[in-house]
Amino acid sequence: MLLADILQLAEREGILDRMQRLSPFSFEQFCRALQLELGYALAKGNRQRMICLLVDLLSECGWLRREEGVWRWDRENRRAISETGGAAVSAEKSPEAAVDGQYLFFRDCLESVPAYLRGGGPSMQFDEKSAVAWEGFLACAEFRTCRSLLLELMGIENHPSFRLLDLCHGPGWGLEEVISRFPAIRITALDFTEAFSRKARERAARAQACTRRMGYPVAPIDWMGPDLWKGFGDPFPFPDGSFEAVFFSCGDPYVPHGRRGMVYGEIGRVLAPEGILGILTRCRPDADARHVASFWLRISALAHDFAESVCEGWEGFSDARENIRLFSDVGFQGGVAHLGTMSSLESSLWVLKKSRCDD
C-alpha cells in the first residue's frame, strides 16, 4: 500500500513523466531536471538522498534499469506502473490501514513530501505537537513483534543486579515490554526530549502495577532527560561500565552519520565488559542482496526510508556492511552465538556483545 502511495505521489508530481522523457539519464541529469522544472531544493539536507531512494525503489520494481552508468526507463512496464500507482487503497477503504499506526504515520509523511522537496521544513518533530503521531507509529504490530524478539535474543537476566539502559525510550513501548518480561532488573530510561515523558511514565507505571499484582517485585526506574543529555553527539551521563545491556529501538537512523563512531563508542563505554547491545532498525538494501535478500523487505526498507525522510533529524538506514565495520571498530562482536553473525531478520535486529577489556 505504501509503495502504491509513493507511486501516486511521483506521478502527480511529474517525476515519472520526467524519467520517461529523459531516458536514458544519469542521476545528476535527473536531479538537475527536478530542480529546474519542479523547483526542488535538492542541495538542502537529505532531499537528494530521497530522490536516490525513489530511483532505487523503481529499480527494485524493475521499472528502471541501470546500463553503462545511466538509468533507462523500462517501457514494457509503463502500463504496470500506471495500474499499480492507481491501485492505492485509502485508509478509509481498508480496515487494516485504518488501524495501522505505521501506515497512517507514513501517509501523513507523504502528504508533506512535495513541500519538503521544495525546501519546506520537516513535518514531524520530537515535540508535543507530533507526540500522538509518534505514539501510534511506534505502537504498530511490526515494531511490537521486533522489540519482543530483540529482547529475547539479548539474553537479559531477570535479577536485581542486572542494569539496562533504554536509550531514546520515546513513548515507552519498549519500557513496557522490558518491565513485563524482566520486572526485577534495574532500568534507566534516557531521552533527549520531554515530549514523550508523561506517556512513557504512565505506560511504565501500568506495566509495573500489573507485575506487582502478579506477585513479582519491581525495581524503580531511573528517568533521565534533556537536562542531562542533549542528544546524539553529547557524552552519556553515566560512568564507564554502568550497564549490562543497552536497548536501542528505532533510534539508529537519527544518529548523524559523522557521529556514529562517537555514539556507538559511548554505548560501548557505558557497557560493562561483555555487555549486550540490542538495536532495532532496518538496513538499506545492498546491491548483491546478501544482507537484505527478500524482495518485499527491500521494497519496504526503501519506502520506509523515503517516507520518514521528512522527519526532523532523519539520516536514513545505514548499509549493513558499514554497520559491521563500525561495530567491530568500536569494540563489538556478534552477540548471538547460535546465529554466528551480528544481525538477524535481514539486518533489522542487531545483538552485539562488548569485547572483554583484554581482548
Helix/strand/coil for 231: coil
The C-alpha cell of 111 is what?
A: 502528504
Residue that the C-alpha cell 538477524 belongs to? 344
Give the orientation angle of helix 320-329 with respect to helix 260-270, to 10 degrees.
50
Q: Is residue 158 domain-shared with residue 69, that is, in the same domain?
A: no
Q: How far apart are the first and last CA of the chain?
A: 48
Residue 107 covered by a domain:
no
284-288's contacts with Cβ under 8 Å and 24+ in sequence apart are 284/316, 284/317, 284/318, 284/319, 284/320, 285/56, 285/60, 286/319, 286/320, 286/321
CATH number, domain with residue 168 = 3.40.50.150
Q: Is residue 187 domain-shared with residue 330, that is, in the same domain?
A: yes
- pLDDT of residue 85 exceeding 50, the answer is no
Residue 278 covered by a domain:
yes
Q: Sign (positive/negative) of CA torsion 228, 246, 208, 146?
A: positive
Q: Is residue 174 domain-shared with residue 318, that is, in the same domain?
A: yes
Residue 103 covered by a domain:
no
* Percentage of the residues of the chain whose pLDDT score is greater than 70: 91
- The strand pairing partners of 189, in sequence order, are 166, 223
Least Cα distance to 247 among 224, 222, 276 occurs for 276
Q: Is residue 260 domain-shared with residue 332, that is, in the same domain?
A: yes
Is pLDDT larger for residue 93 or for residue 282? 282
Q: What is the mean pLDDT of the chain?
A: 92
Last residue of a domain, one of 45, 64, 89: 89
| pTM, to two decimals | 0.92
- pLDDT of residue 316 exceeding 60, the answer is yes
Residue 282 covered by a domain:
yes
**Domain membership of residue 266 as a residue range:** 142-287+314-354
Q: Residue 39: pLDDT band by 50, 70, 90 thresholds?
A: very high
- pLDDT of residue 94 exceeding 80, the answer is no
Q: What's the CA gap between 3 and 198, in Å, rounded?
A: 35
Res 81: pLDDT: 44
Residue 57 covered by a domain:
yes
Give the orientation angle of helix 2-12 with respect to helix 101-111, to 10 degrees.
10
Last residue of a domain, one of 66, 89, 112: 89
Q: Is residue 74 domain-shared with residue 204, that is, in the same domain?
A: no
Residues 6 or more apart whose CB falls under 8 angstroms from that of 151 comprise 177, 178, 181, 182, 247, 278
Residue 116 covered by a domain:
no
CATH number, domain with residue 36 = 1.10.10
Residue 293 covered by a domain:
no
Total domain count, the chain: 2
The string of pLDDT tens digits covering residues 247-274 is: 999 999 999 999 999 999 999 999 999 9
Residue 50 covered by a domain:
yes
Q: Is residue 153 domain-shared with residue 224, that is, in the same domain?
A: yes
- pLDDT of residue 190 exceeding 90, the answer is yes
Least Cα distance to 248 among 359, 349, 324 occurs for 349
Q: Is residue 85 domain-shared with residue 146, that is, in the same domain?
A: no
Res 82: pLDDT: 45
